[in-house]
């Protein structure tokens, strides 16, 4: 049987800022309540970065933990991809800032912008570099300071988001070309720019020169999320050559507990297999999947050799799924 090169996850890390903002805290500044937020979203609290804490700082902390878990140092890293919608600067890429702060050698570093789907898109991108032999040790990071995009008078959106970062280390390893291999096994990536008005930020460098605020048509996003994500999940499973019931853990984008439950039910995944951190972290956009992954590894739920199913949907609209054996 022909050997194949797999991109194997050898380390996972996460970081959450110190400040915790509860629903009760938010009720002091916006017309909402703890009960209202929990009933509609499942969120109880979120973390918020300090004013002097750019998103690269969050990314660096998560990356350090992932490197330690992988038994690697910054000197080993030859590729850094940061998925973020809240970069430190318009340019350079946050990935290059992370490269500098970590003390990594000259290599490849760039950002991916697919909003909440960014981490899945970044994993697929890194997988391509490894398949062509262009990386031996990659850092794939999802990092966000979403609270800085909030309109704090809009209770429908400002209660949903938090800050944080998650990271994985990828290394190439030979596999047998079967579903028993460790590594990234299958992907499905999607985008539909015609749905832009459902979820976007109303500011930009080449439009109004402003940072802008997040705007969302929540009901429409919910409807598209459940249907579209489910299709991508089946497509990623088919690409990997696995059945849904072979999945040990489902790690969805942590947008809303109702969406998590709706997708799991539609694709036939039992709730006991769903990793949910939305109540504690809220929606951290591109950071939500690696943060949930890291959390479930920290508490011992996820173990080596298990098969994971990742999925996300974000502004664009973008969405996608990935199957990986740890």
pLDDT digit string, tens, across residues 120-132: 999 999 999 999 9
The DSSP annotation for 187-237 comes to EEEEE-GGGGGGEEES--TTTTSS---EEE-HHHHHHHHHHHHHHHHHHHH
Continuous segment of H or E residues that includes residue 144: strand 138-145
201: confidence class by pLDDT, cuts 50, 70, 90: very high
Which among 31, 124, 130 is positioned nearest to 83, based on CA atoms? 124
What CATH architecture is 4-175?
3-Layer(aba) Sandwich (3.40)
Instruction: Please tell me the CATH code under which domain 183-325 is placed.
Output: 3.40.47.10
Q: Which of 47, 213, 224, 253 is catalytic?
A: 253
pLDDT at 1: 60
Q: What are phi and psi of 284, to 5 degrees?
A: -105, 25
Return the domain boundaries, the chain.
4-175, 183-325
- First-to-final CA distance of the chain: 22
CA distance 134 to 131: 8
| Average pLDDT rounded to a whole number, residues 300-305 | 98
CA distance 287 to 19: 17
Of 4-13, 63-72, 214-223, the one with minimum mean pLDDT is: 214-223
Q: Is the pLDDT of residue 51 over 80?
A: yes
Domains 4-175 and 183-325 share a fold: yes
Continuous segment of H or E residues that includes residue 40: helix 34-41
Catalytic residue status for 281? no
| Average pLDDT rounded to a whole number, residues 272-282 | 98
The C-alpha angle 248, 160, 88, rounded to 5 degrees, equals 95
pLDDT in tens, 106-149: 999 999 999 999 999 999 999 999 999 999 999 999 999 999 99
Kindly tell me the burial class for residue 308, based on how many C-beta atoms sit within 10 Å of its own C-beta (0-12, 13-18, 19 or more): buried
Q: Which of 23, 228, 256, 283 is catalytic?
A: 283
Which stretches within 71-152 are classed as H helix? 94-102, 118-131
CA distance 266 to 311: 14
Three-state DSSP at 152 gives coil
Which among 305, 285, 313 is positioned nearest to 157, based on CA atoms? 285
Q: To the nearest whole number, what is the mean pLDDT of the chain?
A: 97
| Average pLDDT rounded to a whole number, residues 74-99 | 98
Percent of the chain with pLDDT over 90: 98
Catalytic residue status for 322? no
Q: Which of 116, 137, 158, 322 is catalytic?
A: 116
Which among 288, 291, 177 is positioned nearest to 241, based on CA atoms? 177
pLDDT at 2: 77
| Average pLDDT rounded to a whole number, residues 18-43 | 97
Q: What are phi and psi of 229, to 5 degrees?
A: -65, -40
The C-alpha angle 145, 148, 153, rounded to 5 degrees, equals 135
CA distance 181 to 297: 20
């Amino acid at each position: 049987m022909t050997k194949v090169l797999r991109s194997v996850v050898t380390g996972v890390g996460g970081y959450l800022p110190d400040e915790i903002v509860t629903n009760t805290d938010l009720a002091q500044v916006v017309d909402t309540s703890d009960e209202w937020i929990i009933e509609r979203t499942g969120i109880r609290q979120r973390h918020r970065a300090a004013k002097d804490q750019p998103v690269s700082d969050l990314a660096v902390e998560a990356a350090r933990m992932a490197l330690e878990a992988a038994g690697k140092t910054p000197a080993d890293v030859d590729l850094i991809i940061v998925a973020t919608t809240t970069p430190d600067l318009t340019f350079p890429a946050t990935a290059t800032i992370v490269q500098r702060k970590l003390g990594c050698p000259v290599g490849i570093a760039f950002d991916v912008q697919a909003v909440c789907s960014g981490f899945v898109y970044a994993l697929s991108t890194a997988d391509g570099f490894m398949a062509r032999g262009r990386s031996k040790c990659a850092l794939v990071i999802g990092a966000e300071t979403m609270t800085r995009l909030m309109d704090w008078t809009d209770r429908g959106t400002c209660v949903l988001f938090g800050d944080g970062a998650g990271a994985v280390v990828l290394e190439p390893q030979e596999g047998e070309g079967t579903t028993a291999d460790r590594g990234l096994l299958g992907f499905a990536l999607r985008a539909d720019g015609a749905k832009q008005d459902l979820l976007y930020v109303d500011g930009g460098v080449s439009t109004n020169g402003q940072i802008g605020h997040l705007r969302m048509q929540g009901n429409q996003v919910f409807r598209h999320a459940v249907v579209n994500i489910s299709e991508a999940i089946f497509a990623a499973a088919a690409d990997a050559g696995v059945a849904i019931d072979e999945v040990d853990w489902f790690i969805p984008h942590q947008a809303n507990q109702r969406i998590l439950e709706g997708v799991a039910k539609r694709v036939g995944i039992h709730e006991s297999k769903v990793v949910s951190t939305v109540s504690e972290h809220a929606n951290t956009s591109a950071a939500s999947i690696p943060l949930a992954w890291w959390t479930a590894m920290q508490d011992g739920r996820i173990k080596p050799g298990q098969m994971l199913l990742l999925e996300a949907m974000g502004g664009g609209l973008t969405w996608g799924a990935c199957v990986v054996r740890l």
